[in-house]
Structure 1
């Protein structure tokens, strides 16, 4: 990538990898487009400062998955599908603010081959493009969550985890274990 004094030049990026999902996926988490670092690592949320994997691990009280395969297994074990709202766009580096000429991702493949009933957007950019391009097709209102990006420094890991946990875990989580014995 060409760079001038730390500023990335705009370039057209085609989403480089497939969504993660299976027939049992119930929650779809959507980002905007993989960052430069994620494109280099060939998987979602590959920047070491992005808190996505730490947040999910904290929610499910598990170790943070390290490898791509561990991350895939983690998502599928918790019935989470993962993808992005943008299939192609012009972007400068990893700056969501610079996104233009958007080609939205076709969510049909995930929606028709899974049990998605909730859609969560990682950050306001993902939510904006989901509402603009995909909400009518899916018929599901998405919940916008605070971005796990390092650019969202105003949110601590603890605060992010609290916010995400309310959206990811069902309201009646643990209800079965709290039944009274008669």
Structure 2
């Protein structure tokens, strides 16, 4: 059991296209996502239902079709943390001393159209501000940032409708 708990978990590469304008950042994929090798793979995570409603992605769309729809709308998807040790799926269980973040300098260099970073919850924002932002060069450090409520089922303080209403602001940032 100790070896399973101390296992290093590794995140996925970004979902991104050449016309990306908005980058949505999570913290680190949970167990269901890691098993499926898909962003937001937990069946009760509200990410895909919310984005599906906002962007007109059919609920029966495959994961590949969902990702293609995001790319087609100028949305990139990634996580702040590249690797960490975390027993289970909760962000609170991430062992801080094991966190390695993704290379955002290289990402922003390769995706110069990004004008907005959107955090899917507080952990993504906190880890980005603490571990990524200080090392970014200009103009990457000045990219607009906004936190939206976590779509995770662990974030039960808001109902689906409230989360969807907050995430509707994503449409405004896409229109800029």
**How far is 1:106 from its partner?**
0.8
Q: Does 1:144 align with 2:150?
A: no
Q: 2: distance between equivalents of 1:102 and 1:135?
A: 15
Higher strand share: 1
Q: 2: distance between equivalents of 1:38 and 1:24?
A: 26
- Output one character per residue of 1:46-65: Cα deviation in whole Å (capped at 9) or x when no partner: 01110000111122244236
RMSD: 1.9
Match of 1:124 in 2: 122
Higher helix share: 2
What residue ranges of structure 1 are gaps of 5+ in the alignment? 174-182
Could you tell me the TM-score, scaled by structure 1's length? 0.84
Corresponding residue to 1:155 among 154, 158, 161 = 158
**How far is 1:169 from its partner?**
1.3
- 3-state SS of 1:161 partner: helix
Distance 1:37 1:165, change over 3 A: same
Report the count of equivalent residues.
166
Q: Flag the structure with larger Rg.
A: 1
Match of 2:9 in 1: 13
Q: 2: distance between equivalents of 1:172 and 1:32?
A: 22
- 3-state SS of 1:92 partner: coil
Match of 1:179 in 2: none
Match of 1:48 in 2: 43
Could you tell me the TM-score, scaled by structure 2's length? 0.86
**8 Å contact 2:52–2:58 — kept in the other structure?**
yes
Distance 1:61 1:129, change over 3 A: same
